[in-house]
Structure formats: C-alpha cells, structure tokens
Structure 1
C-alpha cells in the first residue's frame, strides 16, 4: 500500500541515518581525545581502574621527587664524609712525620691546626635543604632521618608509604652541644706505650677537635708541642687511625644508602612506565581501527542520505499520477 500520510521508506532511511551519525560522533570523539574510554559512561569498570592507577602514578611521581631530594642529601653528606676521611688521613700522616727525630713538632702542629679547620668547614658546609648529617649544633641529638621510598597499594585496596631510614648519629662529625656525640669531638680510648723503655702500655683518651661543646669531651686534644713524647705520639696516631676507621664505616653506610636510592629510583621509574602502559591498554583508542571505522561510516552516511532522498521521491511520483 502506498500512503501519502506515512512514508515508511523515508522513516527507515532516517532511522538508519541517525544510527550512522551517532556512531560517527562516537568515533570522532575517540579520534579527537585519543581515548576509547574517556568517561565512566563509556565503560565504568575500565574507567574506574584507569582513574585509580593514574592517581597512584601521580603519587609515585611525588615519590620520585622525594627520592631525588633524599639522594641529594645523601650525596652531600657523602661528599663531606669523603673529604673528612682524606683530611684525617693527612693528619695521621703528619703525626707519623712528627715521630721522626729532630722534626719541629710545633710547625707540624700548625699544619694539623689548619687541617682541623678544614674538617670543621667541611662538616658545617655539608648541608642540603636545611639538613646537615655531619654537623650538629642543636640541643636535640641527631636522629634517624627517613626518605620516602615507595607508594604501595595492597590487594585489599589499602595504601601505605615505605621509607628508607638512616641514623645520622653514626655520621655526625662535630657536635657543639655534646662532644661525646661527634666522631671527631668525642674522646677515643687507645692503648699507649707507657714509658720509653718499659714494655707496658696504658690506656689514653684523645679527641681531635675542640668545638667548644657545652658538654666537653673526656681526654686530651690531639695537639703537638715541642715536648710531646714519642709514646704520646704513638697514642695520638692510634686515636687518629681509630677515628679514620669509624669514618670509613660511616661512609660505607652512606654509600649503601646511595646505592639503594639509585635502585629504588630506577624501579619507580620503570613501575610508572608499566602502569602508564597498562592504563593505555584499557582506555586508549586504536587509531588505526578508529580511522578505518570513520571512513566506513562516512561512506554509510553518504549512502543513507541517498536512500533518504530516494524515499522522499515516492510522494512526488504519486503526485504525477494526478497530473493531466
């Protein structure tokens, strides 16, 4: 039946054209945004996962910054510690040189005094972002410092932050409040020869730097006089060597922290890349596929418009039947 009131063919063609236009809008949106799942309406499950993982990646980016800051602090402390080891090695060499007969010990002491000043300057300068792990002038003793190392999400959805901890008490070289808390200001007890000819030894205590601490160190400062005996020199050399050993251990600990931070930085960077890649698999649009679909839909749209045009000509054909 042919009707001039209802054009079924045109209605079918129009419905098809609407569907094609809707699909074209969807494909064009994916091409312009680059996302297959851009909003929760596109795919609630994938959108939720992607949003959570993007948030976690932002937290990991902050962790990366924190690791960089921590690495800078450790590097600064290690540089100061390394310099201190070199200077104490030089002081030890000067003490050994003073052991030679006929040497002017007072002149060697002037050199040692300048080396001490260098130690104070190095320790005081080893500061980064307001923190100094080698020099303490606060009434509060040196404490454990924490470096944010990772952001963790467990299987039950709970989150936590992990840290790398370092006890700065083992690396403080100079403490102006309590001399006993500084590696170079505290007294070091050593076995010292007791008398030029006697084979016996006695304990003696020496410290390297007098920082004017509120709580002074026990023992005697390593200072040379023209009257300094060989036995005392031997004790001072032993004390300097013990300090050098302690500083070497502290530097080794700092080096281990450096290595751990480097490994963690690499891991966090790789983890962020993996998360980005995983999110992309869930929500990114396949541009090759979408461009192919767009080309097909454009062809379908042209055919739909032509079909609608043909359907609309049916009424005109009926009109011709009534023309004379």
Structure 2
C-alpha cells in the first residue's frame, strides 16, 4: 500500500542508518582513544578492574622510588662500615706493633689518633637524606624501615610491606644516646678462648667448658709435638715445659692430664700413659679491655693491657664484619625487590591493556565495513524517500 502519511521503508532505512552511525561513532572513539573500554558504560566490570589496578600500579611506582631511596641509605651505611673496618684493621696492626720491646708508644699513639679521627669522620659522613645508620641511638629503640611493596589481599584490603633494620649495639659505630654502646665507643670484656667438650668418666658423659689454645700459641711457647695412631684414630700431644695439651678438633687444643686409672676416657695414649681433658682448666674470668677504640691511649699500657686491648679490637672487628654482612644482605634484598616490583608493574600494565585496549587491526577493519554500510543505508533511505514522489505520477 502506498501512503503519503506513513513511509515504512523510510523508517526502516532510518533505523538502520541510526544503528550504523552509533556503531561507527563507537568504533571511531576506540580508534581515536586506543581503548576498547574507556568508561564504565563500555563495560562496567572491566572498567572497575582496570581503574583499581591502575591505582595499584601508581602505588607500585611510588614503591620503586622508595626502594631507590632505601637502597641509597643502605649502600651509604655499608660503604661507611666497610671503610671503618679497614681503619680498625690498621688500629689492630698498630696495637700489635706496640707490643714489641723498645717500641716508641708515643709515636704509635700519634698514628692511632689520626686513625681515630678518621673513624669519626667516616661515621659522620655516612649520611643520606638526613639519616645516619652508623652514628645513632644504639640503645635498641630505633628501627629503620625501607618500603618494599604494596600488597592487595584477596579480601580487597591493602597494606605496605617494609624491610626493617634495627639499630643496636652490634651495628652502630658511635652511640648518640650518651650510653657509649656503639661498637667503637664501648669497652669490651675479653677472655681466653674456650671450647665445650663432652667428657666421659666411668661411663657418664658431662659437658665441660675449658680454655682453648691454637697451635700457633703452642708453637710460640716452644711446644714439642708427638703423634700417636691407634687403629684408625690419630691423636696429637703437645708438651710445653711439662704441661701437656691434646688436639680436640681442627683448630683447638686443650690442656691435658694423666687420666690413667681415673675412669676418664683417654684422648691420647703416649707410651702407655693415658691423657685426657683437664676439666679443672676452666677459661679465665672475663677481663675488661683498658678502653674503647674511640678512646684508646697506649702510652701508659703494659703488656697485659695491650693484649686485652688487641682482643677488644678483634671483637669489634667481628661485630663490624657481621654488621657489614647484614647491610649487604639488606642491600641485596632491596635490589631483588626492586626488580620484582618493576616486573610486577609491567605485568599489571599488560593485564590492564588486555582488558581495555582496543585491537587497532580489528577496529580499522570494522571502520571500513561500517563506512560502507553507512553509504548503503543512506542510499536506501534516499530510495525510500523517493517512493512518496512516485505517487504524484498517479495523478498526472
């Protein structure tokens, strides 16, 4: 039926054209923005996930910056500790030199004063961004933290994880609290080396701690050594002027006594004389070093005090080496965490891209198809509109 009031063909063509124009507009928007999901109206679920993950990625970017700052602080502390170790080694060498008979201790003290000033300079300079981990409160109340990661849990809660490094008497060189608790400003209690052994007497084992000696110490005392092998067991005995010592492990010797007939298990058989551990030779009581490294003055020290001072410096070196190792491990962890955060950030960015980025190859193909459809729809609408003009020919 031909009607001049209602043109069904034109309305159908117009509806098709409107649909094609809408699709064309969406496709052009994706091409211009490069995004398949640019707003919540495109895909609410994907848009929500992408927005949240972009926010987390911005937080991870801040974490990377914080890790860089933390790494700089740790590296500064490590460099300072490493330099201080070399200086303390020099101090130890000077103290050993001072034990020689006839040496001028005043001249050595002048060198020690320069080395002490160098330690102070190193500790003061080991500062980054206003933080100094070598010259701080060593009372155990200070913990330094480095931001390590930003974590979103399964329940949606978020948290910031940190790497902690507690400043205490074992890693601070100078104590700023006034308690002289730092490695360089505290006085060490030193004692002879000891070793704990299990001694069997009449079938009953007992743990005993006795004084330990090194082979170098025995050689320095002009010891004579003998070796005895019974079966597959080889033992050694040292004689220092009638005082005997037996080797109990790779590095330690202990004082020995004749245990023939005493019930104590023998450690060494020397021509029918059985030697065992002298359980009465306990380590001597701890002796305080004459002073701290920061205040060392050898001009008035005797041989015993010098030896105690050398032992104190050696203990300080042990603590400094341990502290440097801890700083090194923290630095390595921060480096690994930095690499992980970088890779995690890239993974999140890729994941978000898979959700919301437009496939430009697909969109360009769709654009050409829609443009073709739009041209055909316009022609169809033009044809439909011309139908009403054909009615006029009926009245001619």
Normalised-by-shorter TM-score class: 0.7 to 0.9
* Cα offset, 1:258, TM superposition: 0.7
Per-residue CA distance 1:112-151 (angstroms, 9 max, x = gap): 1111001011111111122111112x69865111222111
Task: Return 244-253 or 51-60, whichever deviates more.
Answer: 51-60
Q: TM-score, normalised by structure 2?
A: 0.73
Aligned counterpart, 1:224: 298
Aligned counterpart, 2:238: none
Aligned counterpart, 1:216: none
Aligned counterpart, 1:143: 142
Aligned counterpart, 2:355: 282
* Cα offset, 1:319, TM superposition: 2.2
Query: SS of the residue aligned with 1:180?
Result: coil
Pairing 1:162-181 to 2, within 5 Å after superposition: 162-169=161-168, 170-181=170-181
* Cα offset, 1:301, TM superposition: 0.7
Task: Return 23-32 or 50-59, whichever deviates more.
Answer: 50-59
* Cα offset, 1:318, TM superposition: 2.5
Task: Return 162-171 or 253-262, whichever deviates more.
Answer: 162-171
More strand by share: 2
Aligned counterpart, 1:21: 21
2:140, 2:166 within 8 Å by CA — same for their partners in 1? no
The gaps in structure 1 that reach 5 residues or longer are 211-220
Number of residue pairs matched?
Answer: 306
1:94 aligns with 2:94: yes
* Cα offset, 1:299, TM superposition: 0.6
1:184, 1:207 within 8 Å by CA — same for their partners in 2? no
Aligned counterpart, 1:247: 320
Of structures 1 and 2, the larger Rg is shown by 2
Q: TM-score, normalised by structure 1?
A: 0.88
More helix by share: 1
List structure 1 runs of 4+ shifted beyond 4 angstroms.
Answer: 138-142, 199-202
* Cα offset, 1:272, TM superposition: 1.0
* Cα offset, 1:191, TM superposition: 3.4
Aligned counterpart, 1:218: none
Two-structure CA RMSD over aligned residues (Å): 2.2
2:174, 2:180 within 8 Å by CA — same for their partners in 1? no
Per-residue CA distance 1:187-224 (angstroms, 9 max, x = gap): 011238xxxx9x997723244344xxxxxxxxxx4212
* Cα offset, 1:83, TM superposition: 0.7
1:142, 1:172 within 8 Å by CA — same for their partners in 2? no
Aligned counterpart, 2:159: 160
Per-residue CA distance 1:136-176 (angstroms, 9 max, x = gap): 2x698651112221111111112222111111113211124
2:139, 2:181 within 8 Å by CA — same for their partners in 1? no
- CA distance in 2 between counterparts of 1:316 and 1:99 reads 124
1:27, 1:293 within 8 Å by CA — same for their partners in 2? yes
